[in-house]
């Protein structure tokens, strides 16, 4: 479990965010996805109870249970 990560900015050239990448990051409140991110894997933000805003911009594929 991650208890200190609060902000993440994913830069240009990243095409996908892998499954469970930020799972259990309970303090994650702000996530910025670059326009190149087209896919978000299963349970990427699983149990991230603090997220307030995530702008999906160009995401066309979303896995299962991404925000549960």
Report the C-alpha gap between 15 and 36 in whole angstroms.
5
Q: Which of 25, 21, 28 is nearest to 6 (CA)?
A: 28
pLDDT tens-place values along the chain, 68 residues long = 788 899 888 888 999 999 999 988 888 888 888 889 999 999 998 888 777 667 777 899 999 998 77
């Amino acid at each position: 479990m991650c208890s200190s990560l609060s902000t993440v900015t994913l830069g240009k050239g990243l095409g996908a965010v892998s499954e469970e990448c930020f799972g259990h990051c309970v303090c994650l409140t702000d996530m910025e996805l670059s326009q190149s991110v087209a896919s978000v894997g299963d349970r990427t933000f699983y149990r991230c109870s603090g997220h307030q805003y995530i702008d999906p911009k160009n995401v066309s594929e979303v896995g299962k249970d991404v925000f549960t």
